[in-house]
Amino acid sequence: MAKALFIDTSRCIACRGCQTACKEWHGLPAVPTRQRGTHQNPPDLNPFNYKLVRFTEAKTAGKVEWLFFPDQCHHCLEPSCKGTAESFAPEAIVVDKKTGAVVYTEKTANLTAAQCKEIQQSCPYDIPRRNDKTGILTKCDMCIDRIRADLAPICVKTCGTGAMNFGERDAMLAMAHHRLGAVKVSHPKAQLVDPEDVRVIYLVTNPEPALKKQGKQAVESYSRRELLGGLVSPFRRMAG
Ligand code: SF4
Ligand code: SF4
C-alpha cells in the first residue's frame, strides 16, 4: 500500500534527533562545520545530509516566532526529478511500486554534471544534491530498506514529540487534516503543503517564512497559489 509521512512542524522542538538519526542510519560521514550565528547546521542540505532542520525567525503581529522545518524530499506523486531523468537515464531514478518512495540509484553516477543540474533544477523543493567526487545524486530514500522490513523510517522512529508520523497515505492525509483543524485555532495561517501532490505532507503554522529557506521555487509556488487562490487547479492548491 502507498505510504506517506506527515510532518507536523507545530510539534517540532528542533532537537535535530531526526537529522542525526538519518545520517547514522545511512552511514553518512560528518561534515566539517563552524558556528554561523544560527542553530541551523549544516547551513544547507548536502550529499551527506539528506535531512536538515531549518530554523527561521519570523515576526507576526509584533511577536517574534522561531519556526522549525525538518526539510527533506517530499516524495512527489508525479516526481519532476524522475520525469526529467526519463529522457537520458530512465533507470537512474525509480519509484518503488509498493510504497511510492522516489529512490535515486547508483546509476545517477553515470549522469553528466549538466544532466544532474537539470534534475536538481526541476525539483520544486530544491532537494537533490550531487556528490561531486562520486557523481552520485543524493536525497532521502524514505528509508526504503527499513520499510521493506516493516519498520518506520528512522526519522519517525527517533522523533519523540509526534512531529514525524508514518503510515498508509490515506491515514496520514486524514491525520494531517485533523491536526490542521486543531492547529488553526491558535495559528490561523496554518496550512498543509501540497497535500494532494506528495507523500511527505507538511503542516506549517506560518507558511511563507517557513518555506522561504527551503528553495526559491517553493516560495514562488506558494506565493503564486496565494495570489491565484481558487483560480488554480485544486491539485496544486494548499489545503486549509
Ligand atoms: S521533492 Fe524533488 S527530489 Fe523529491 S521526489 Fe519531488 S521532485 Fe524529486
Ligand atoms: S526529531 Fe522530531 S522534534 Fe526533533 S527535530 Fe526532528 S521532527 Fe523536530
pLDDT in tens, 16-55: 999 999 999 999 999 998 888 888 999 999 999 999 999 9
Domain formed by 80-142, architecture: 2-Layer Sandwich (3.30)
Strands 93-95 and 137-138: unpaired
Its CATH architecture, for the domain 3-74+148-236, is 2-Layer Sandwich (3.30)
Q: How many CB atoms lie within 10 A of CB 235?
A: 10
Q: What percent of the chain clears pLDDT 90, i.e. is strictly above it?
A: 78
**Is the CB of residue 69 less than 8 Å from the CB of residue 208?**
no
Distance 7 CA to ligand 2 centre (A): 9
Q: Ligand 1 centroid vs 145 CA: distance in angstroms?
A: 19
Q: What is the pLDDT of residue 212?
A: 63
Instruction: Assess whether the C-beta atom of 12 lies below 6 angstroms from ligand 2.
Output: yes
Q: Is the pLDDT of residue 238 over 50?
A: no
Q: Mean pLDDT over residues 229-235, rounded?
A: 31
Q: Do domains 3-74+148-236 and 80-142 have the same CATH topology?
A: yes
Give the Cα separation of 231 and 208 in Å (integer): 20
Could you tell me the residue ranges of all domains in the chain? 3-74+148-236, 80-142
Model confidence at 234, in pLDDT bands (50, 70, 90)? very low
pLDDT band at 210 (very low <50, low <70, confident <90, very high): low
Beta bridge partners, 5, equal: 166, 200
Cell 542540505, residue located: 45
In order, the DSSP letters of 217-232 are HHHHHHHHHHHHGGGS
Residue 61 — very low, low, confident or very high, per pLDDT cuts 50/70/90?
Answer: confident
Q: Can you tell me which atom of ligand 2 is nearest the CA of 15? A: 4
Q: How far is the CA of 229 from the centre of ligand 2 (A)?
A: 31
Q: What number of other Cβ atoms are within 10 A of residue 64's Cβ? A: 8
Question: Does residue 168 register a pLDDT over 60?
Answer: yes
Ligand nearest to the CA of 85: 1
Distance 88 CA to ligand 2 centre (A): 37
pTM (global) more than 0.85: yes
